[in-house]
Structure 1
Amino acid sequence: MSYESIARDRLPELLRAMPKAELHIHIEGSLEPELIFQLAQRNQVGLAYPDVDALRAAYAFTDLQSFLDIYYAGASVLLKEEDFFDMAMAYYRRAQADHVVHAEVFFDPQTHTARGVPFETVIRGLTRAKETAQRELGVSSELILCFLRHLSEDEAFATLEQALPWRDHFIGVGLDSSERGNPPEKFARVFAKCRELGLRLVAHAGEEGPASYIRSALDVLHAERIDHGVRCVEDPALVERLAAERVPLTVCPLSNVKLCVFPTMAQHNLATLLERGLCVTVNSDDPAYFGGYVNQNYLEAFAALPQLHAGHAYTLARNSLEASFASDADKARWIAELDAVFARFR
């Protein structure tokens, strides 16, 4: 069914209203400055910034590492189960407002265990928020444990060991943090172990790292989804493979601009990826730091890229639902809801 005839001036309303999944959201990256200061006060943690405005003003990133420095500083206020619960619930409320029906939420236990916060504290807070969001907001979600790639594989194995008693609380593992100089091969053994355990596998690749990292994530780590993946266009054969195998790419437009992967949104390759038949999805990455949650990513991308139309919006939303690790029954229900929304706009 074609939706190209839906008027362009109706796109913002449609983008907001359509049900969608979010597959690339770092929960620590949803920690807004206001909540950082609240938690700092609650936990008597000193911050390097005098107020919320000064902290926001520091969000002028030149690359991934300059962002990560601030990101880890912000996470320092997370100490108790209640802190993780409050942070996650703030995200889920925003997700519900953006008509996110399902989220697959990344969390970075090593960011917290390195500060002496037990794994149990992190997972209990996030699990309680996940259950509350389902019950009170109708937002379905799953948790994905990410290994920090700037640390060693041995440290990743130690984190996996800590996590295994809580195996029922998360569905998969990912790989995030500094991409440059930390190829997927570095984590081949720990991903092989996770695969044996039946965990779902995803990995960041092809954001700041080259297209070859995407190949390695697929061939060495056996990743089922590629987080970011925008640099795949540097390797035409890889693009053909990604299209043929329907490998989902969890693209984060505002993040890509904020971290200088693309100079402006008008230069983003989202439309190109769609034209080449790739299974692209739109996500927010670290929304508190990059200027917007998932709907803002859709709105700004569609405003800056005039070749995108309502048919692309439908494809992106449907891709997000199909690329999720949710049950077939849930996917079918959400796709029916998506069809109903688009039918209203025809």
Structure 2
Amino acid sequence: MTNWLKSLPKAELHLHIEGTLEPEKMFELAARNGVDLPYESVADLRAAYDFDDLSSFLSLYFQGMEVLQTEADFYELTMDYLGRASAEGVVHVELSFDPQAHLVRGIELGTPLAGLTRAMTDAEHQHGISSALIMSFLRDRDADEALNVLEQSRPWHDWIAAVGLDSAESGNPPTKFAQVFERARQLGLPRVAHAGEEGPADYVRGALDTLDVCRVDHGVRAVDDPDLLDRLKCSQTPLTVCPLSNVYLNVVDQLVDHPLPQLIEHGLNVTINSDDPAYFGGGMLNNLAACAEAFDWQRETCRDVARNAVRAAFMGPQRRQQLLSDIDNC
């Protein structure tokens, strides 16, 4: 099954590019940029990947970002990931990045954007992998700061496919960012948001009603609200579910406990994604293979979730139709 899953054309919609920073690359960039890491070795760093919840992960995640300082750093990070993804049969990736996490370190907005976009172009030429860029706001920071970043980014809006909302969900409801997302709507930018990962089902409803999102990132807590499940079934709003991430962050105890089968059986529009693959057990191939084993998915279920992702992706109609045809023929 794994060999076939590798050959299945896959689109990834929920991927934090900073979360693709492998320990070996972190040490390489730390040495290059004169950053001291609080770990003696790659093995020591990997041993720290034992998270209690989202907050404990974010502490290490933001610590690792310190090594990302130049356009070349962001370029190499992105090229490395897109190359690995392509080798696993991923044909399209939507890269989310966190500009505020870099701005607060004195890294100008143009630095990550230049590195990311150059890598996206080069990876398409080298690997045939298409991509789109999502600029995400940190929900545990001030909404006015996010609004300022949105305005700063206007020269790059031709490259930005959508804006998103991520980071610590608990205590940071969607309503906090209503003005930011309304401004994004005025600027013609599509909107996505994390909701219903560590936050309640009501945050999913808030993302839909207050932020007017076209996709919900995670969304698994919707399973707690039958009316919301029915609404998501009727609207077919895509959910970008990250199964292994949910296990690593103790959203579920183990994969067999995940509500994915229930969401699919209820008729929701579910996609599979890796979230932060350097920290959560690998990329798209690992996530799909783990689901196939845990839930006894056959090939047609895997094709279905792959089709869902392509249909929900930020891509042109010709590319979409070609990928759907490739999935049907796999």
Instruction: Output the TM-score relative to the length of structure 2.
Output: 0.99
1:338 paired with 2:317, answer no
Q: CA deviation at 1:94?
A: 1.2
Q: CA deviation at 1:16?
A: 1.5
Q: Which residue of 2 aligns with 1:318?
A: 307
Q: Which residue of 1 aligns with 2:103?
A: 113
Deviation string, structure 1 residues 208-250 (Cα, Å, up to 9, x no partner): 0000000000000000000000110111111111111110000
The residue type equivalent to 2:42 in the other structure is V
1:75 paired with 2:65, answer yes
Query: Which among 169, 178, 181 is matched to residue 171 of structure 2?
Result: 181
- Identify unmatched segments of 5+ residues in structure 1: 1-10, 342-346
Q: Which residue of 2 aligns with 1:269?
A: 259
User: Could you tell me how far apart the structure 1 residues matched to 2:85 and 2:74 are?
Assistant: 16
1:57 paired with 2:30, answer no
RMSD over equivalenced CA pairs, Å: 0.8
User: Could you tell me how far apart the structure 1 residues matched to 2:317 and 2:184 are?
Assistant: 23
Percent of aligned pairs with the same amino acid: 51
Q: CA deviation at 1:171?
A: 1.2
Q: CA deviation at 1:12?
A: 2.2
The residue type equivalent to 1:334 in the other structure is L
The residue type equivalent to 1:146 in the other structure is S
Deviation string, structure 1 residues 17-45 (Cα, Å, up to 9, x no partner): 11011000000000000000000011111
- Identify unmatched segments of 5+ residues in structure 2: none
Query: Which among 181, 187, 204 is matched to residue 197 of structure 1?
Result: 187
Q: Which residue of 2 aligns with 1:159?
A: 149
Secondary structure (helix, strand or coil) at the match of 2:40 reads coil
Q: Which residue of 2 aligns with 1:6?
A: none
User: Could you tell me how far apart the structure 2 residues matched to 1:123 and 1:13 are?
Assistant: 35
Query: Which aligned pairs between 1:283-294 and structure 2 lie closer than 5 A?
Result: 283-294=273-284
Q: Which residue of 2 aligns with 1:4?
A: none
User: Could you tell me how far apart the structure 1 residues matched to 2:152 and 2:71 are?
Assistant: 17
The residue type equivalent to 1:163 in the other structure is S
Query: Which among 13, 27, 32 is matched to residue 37 of structure 1?
Result: 27
Q: Which residue of 2 aligns with 1:328?
A: 317
User: Could you tell me how far apart the structure 1 residues matched to 2:67 and 2:44 are?
Assistant: 17
Deviation string, structure 1 residues 233-270 (Cα, Å, up to 9, x no partner): 11111111111111000000000000000000111111
> Comparing 160-169 with 211-220, which one deviates more in the overlay?
160-169
Q: CA deviation at 1:166?
A: 1.5
Q: CA deviation at 1:302?
A: 1.3
Secondary structure (helix, strand or coil) at the match of 1:278 reads coil
Q: Which residue of 2 aligns with 1:89?
A: 79
The residue type equivalent to 2:189 in the other structure is L
Q: CA deviation at 1:50?
A: 1.1
User: Could you tell me how far apart the structure 2 residues matched to 1:325 and 1:121 are?
Assistant: 23
User: Could you tell me how far apart the structure 2 residues matched to 1:44 and 1:68 are?
Assistant: 22
Secondary structure (helix, strand or coil) at the match of 1:49 reads coil
Q: CA deviation at 1:158?
A: 1.4
Deviation string, structure 1 residues 60-92 (Cα, Å, up to 9, x no partner): 000000000000000000000000000001110
Q: Which residue of 1 aligns with 2:298?
A: 309
Q: Which residue of 2 aligns with 1:149?
A: 139
Q: CA deviation at 1:337?
A: 0.8
Query: Which among 121, 129, 136 is matched to residue 119 of structure 2?
Result: 129
Deviation string, structure 1 residues 292-346 (Cα, Å, up to 9, x no partner): 101100011111122x2222111101001001121121111001111111xxxxx
The residue type equivalent to 1:319 in the other structure is N
User: Could you tell me how far apart the structure 1 residues matched to 2:154 and 2:69 are?
Assistant: 21
User: Could you tell me how far apart the structure 1 residues matched to 2:159 and 2:236 are?
Assistant: 28
